[in-house]
Structure 1
Amino acid sequence: MPHDSLITFDPPLLENGAMLLAFSGWMDGGEVSTGTVNHLLSTLDTRKVAEIDPEGYYIYNFPGTMELASVFRPKVRYEEGLVKSLELPENTFHCDQSRKLVLFTGKEPNLNWRDFGDRILDLARMTGVQRIVFVGSFGGAVPHTREPRLFCSVSHEDLKPEYARYGLKFSDYEGPSSFVSFLLSRAPQVGIRMASIAAEIPGYLEGANPLSIEAVTRRLAKILDLKVDLAAMRLASDDWTSRVSELVEKDNKLRKHIAKLESAYDDALLEAAEE
């Protein structure tokens, strides 16, 4: 892969900067990864400083049925026989220079993980980023009526006390790897300190999860020392929770399932408090 896949637009040099990562796809259930970072992009004073050309990092033509292949193919829109849009993956870096923060939003690559990761790390070096934080999610046993549990993985052992102060549990996950796990393994080799924060979200729901997005944003604000107005997010979170609960009340089987999840969640809190 050519190194010119990283296209820059006069990125600034930050002093002890931080980078926040969001990826669509794997670990973006409830849109917690992209939703959190996109919310910050809409509220902070940022400008685009770089992008990664998608060519060579994604599968567009996957053999198999049309239903399977359609998952990988870029979406196109025609009007009156003319192509109006073709949605290739976008991977962009924005920077809020006053907050010494770079924000990345993109799609997890299918191919050439090492090279794609090196482009992210190249931009980190260019901008003086010393630490990287990824935010994401996974489907679990937490009910929508409770605060999502947040789990953390770190690139260096001595980072654990810092993140433990924010009430994060450390992951014991074993299974299929994400690109973020690969990046975590690479970070120490290039002198970058990195953490991955994943919210456990209800496995029985689909679509955006404002409750988890608000919870992750609130925790990130403390970790990155950001002043973020959470009032509107809290209102959206409360409204979402109410609407989901109304739908649950109409499904007796689901209501019983959630009651069991609530009981297990509350018991775990009590056990943790007694330790």
Structure 2
Amino acid sequence: MQDPRELYDVRSALDGVPTGLYLVAGLTGFADAGAAVSQLSTYLLETMDNEEIVRFDSDALLDYRARRPIITFDQDHLTDYRPAQLSLYLMRDELGQQFLLLTGYEPDFQWERFSTAVLDLVSLLKVRSTIWVHSIPMPVPHTRPIGVTVSGNRDGLADSMSVWRPTTQAPATAMHLVEYRLQEVGASTIGFVLLVPHYLGDTEYPAAAVTAIESISTVTGLIFPTDKLREEDREFIANIDEQVAGNPELERLVGALEQRHDAYMQDSPVKSPLTHLDGALPSADEIAAELENFLAYRRKGDEDASGR
């Protein structure tokens, strides 16, 4: 394997970065239900002091045909080119506590080399613990708090925070591999998978970002501003509730999801809030149909409101 350090450029001297910090990570790619990861990263970078210290080599890691850079065309010439970026930042929370943030695209290529590079940085900076966030769509109601599934090697955390603890096989992400390699070398790592309502999976759901922030705060003690996100979430939920109240089919769907969720949380014989009463997980086609019906109704409501 080539030297993993060739995968990144140091933008600011690493010997000036304090050791023993938490590393928070969130990469967009395979799935980002409710745009939890993208919202989290954007919000932290926009609201907190930060300094880019490492940038990874997109030419080595990214498939440009799948995720094309953005260019700006101004009438007759190009004025801007914005390539995708994967970087490590030195951040400060609201109390001035420093931490590291790894954010950007999920690599398309060289996962093993990328994970080795991340572990190299974790070792070099003597990272206290690596905490990462991922989100997936699940048939749960938006009227209940977003649940999380916890992985990693911090004792007792899954018992206190995981609402769903399956034994299953699932498509991996690059950060799954990083977590796996960190566990192999005995480094502290925690993964949070947010369980986002499937019918809101393709939206920017502010509650998903809030839950990501709260989960990170719980295990690190870092303090993040959330007032703006919470206000956006109140407006978002009010709009969703209005749409649901005007659609009997959606009301029945949400009501059924609430019953399964509440039964599960009360130690009901129902195995999971994510299944039908007969134990079968709703199919991808069923989920897609429900979501399309929801979006179609919302589009019609917007058109009626505008008088078109």
Q: Does 1:10 align with 2:13?
A: yes
1:23 to 20, 27, 50: 27
- Contact 2:25–2:103 (CA under 8 A) maintained in structure 1: yes
1:91 to 86, 94, 111: 86
Return the letter of the residue paired with 2:13: D
1:225 to 221, 224, 228: 221
What do residues 215-244 of structure 1 show as CA deviations (whole Å, max 9, x unaligned)? Answer: 221222121101233333222212111111
- Contact 2:58–2:86 (CA under 8 A) maintained in structure 1: yes
- Contact 1:20–1:37 (CA under 8 A) maintained in structure 2: no
What's the offset of the Cα at 1:115?
A: 1.3
- Contact 2:131–2:216 (CA under 8 A) maintained in structure 1: no
Q: When the two structures are superposed, what TM-score results if normalisation uses the length of structure 1?
A: 0.85
Return the letter of the residue paired with 1:113: W
What's the offset of the Cα at 1:104?
A: 1.2
- Contact 1:22–1:105 (CA under 8 A) maintained in structure 2: yes
2:150 to 126, 149, 152: 152
2:240 to 244, 248, 256: 244
Distance 1:223-1:52 versus aligned 2 partners, 3 A rule: same
What's the offset of the Cα at 1:90?
A: 0.3
Partner of 2:250: 254
Partner of 1:172: 167
What do residues 123-151 of structure 1 show as CA deviations (whole Å, max 9, x unaligned)? Answer: 22232213111112100011111111111
Give the 3-state SS of the residue equivalent to 1:49 in structure 2.
Answer: strand
Higher CA-based Rg: 2
What's the offset of the Cα at 1:120?
A: 2.0
Distance 1:95-1:161 versus aligned 2 partners, 3 A rule: same
Return the letter of the residue paired with 1:7: D
Give the 3-state SS of the residue equivalent to 2:13 in structure 1.
Answer: coil
Distance 1:55-1:171 versus aligned 2 partners, 3 A rule: farther
Q: How far apart are the structure 1 equivalents of 2:143 and 2:220?
A: 27
Q: How far apart are the structure 2 equivalents of 1:163 and 1:40?
A: 25
Structure of higher RCO (CA pairs closer than 8 Å, 6+ residues apart): 1
Identity %, equivalent residues: 18
Partner of 1:134: 132
Partner of 2:156: 161
Q: How far apart are the structure 2 equivalents of 1:173 and 1:231?
A: 36
2:198 to 203, 218, 227: 203
Q: How far apart are the structure 1 equivalents of 2:111 and 2:263?
A: 41
Q: How far apart are the structure 2 equivalents of 1:171 and 1:84?
A: 50
Q: How far apart are the structure 2 equivalents of 1:150 and 1:188?
A: 20
What's the offset of the Cα at 1:86?
A: 2.9
Give the 3-state SS of the residue equivalent to 1:102 in structure 2.
Answer: strand
What's the offset of the Cα at 1:89?
A: 1.8
Partner of 2:45: 41
What are the ranges of 5 or more consecutive residues in structure 1 without an aligned counterpart? 62-70
Question: How many residue pairs were aligned?
Answer: 260
Q: How far apart are the structure 1 equivalents of 2:263 and 2:68?
A: 45
- Contact 2:118–2:178 (CA under 8 A) maintained in structure 1: no
Q: Which range moved further: 133-142 or 253-262?
A: 253-262
Distance 1:173-1:86 versus aligned 2 partners, 3 A rule: farther
- CA-based RMSD of the aligned residues comes to 2.2
- Contact 1:13–1:126 (CA under 8 A) maintained in structure 2: no
Partner of 2:288: none
Partner of 2:296: none
What's the offset of the Cα at 1:171?
A: 4.8
- Contact 1:218–1:230 (CA under 8 A) maintained in structure 2: no
Q: Which range moved further: 86-95 or 39-48?
A: 39-48
Give the 3-state SS of the residue equivalent to 2:146 in structure 1.
Answer: coil
